[in-house]
Amino acid sequence: MDKTVINTPDAPDPIGPYNQAILAGNTLYISGQVCIDPATGQLKNRDLQEETHQVMHNLKAILQKAGLSFGNVVKATIFLTDMHRFSEVNEIYGKYFDDIFPARETVQVSALPKFVNVEISMIAVK
């Protein structure tokens, strides 16, 4: 099986030994993204809305680098540090999809990298 590394300067550099995404055949596996602004390397987390938008912008940049869009996403995983704030993230997340939403799970965790509030990973298919 051929695997292609997908990295773009329009999304934050990985903060560990991984790539932004791997294209295996026709399937793109995107690593979890947090609210790092790729232009500055700083967190964009003034509030949960800004944080979620930045995460989605990072995911979009990776999808575009692979020649895909949110319409190609078949699975997403959302990690939250506070499930009571699920509706805030859900409202913003939903605006990035046209009419068919991917399968998804949302999981509450005790902490995330850089102590952010939300991280999202995705799987997309060409």
- In the chain, the number of structural domains is 1
**Mean pLDDT confidence for 29-58:** 98
Task: Specify the residue for token string 């938008």.
Answer: 53
* 37-65 as b/e: b if 16+ CB within 10 A: ebeeeebbbeebeebbbbbbbbbbbbbeb
Burial category of 102 from C-beta neighbours within 10 Å (exposed 0-12, middle 13-18, buried 19 and up): middle
CATH number at residue 109: 3.30.1330.40
Q: Is the pLDDT of residue 46 over 90?
A: yes
pLDDT digits (tens, 9 = 90+) for 24-42: 999 999 999 999 999 999 9
For the question of whether the overall pTM of this predicted structure is more than 0.85, the answer is yes
pLDDT band at 124; cut points 50, 70, 90:
very high
| Enclosing domain of residue 26 | 3-125
> pLDDT confidence of 99, banded at 50, 70, 90?
confident
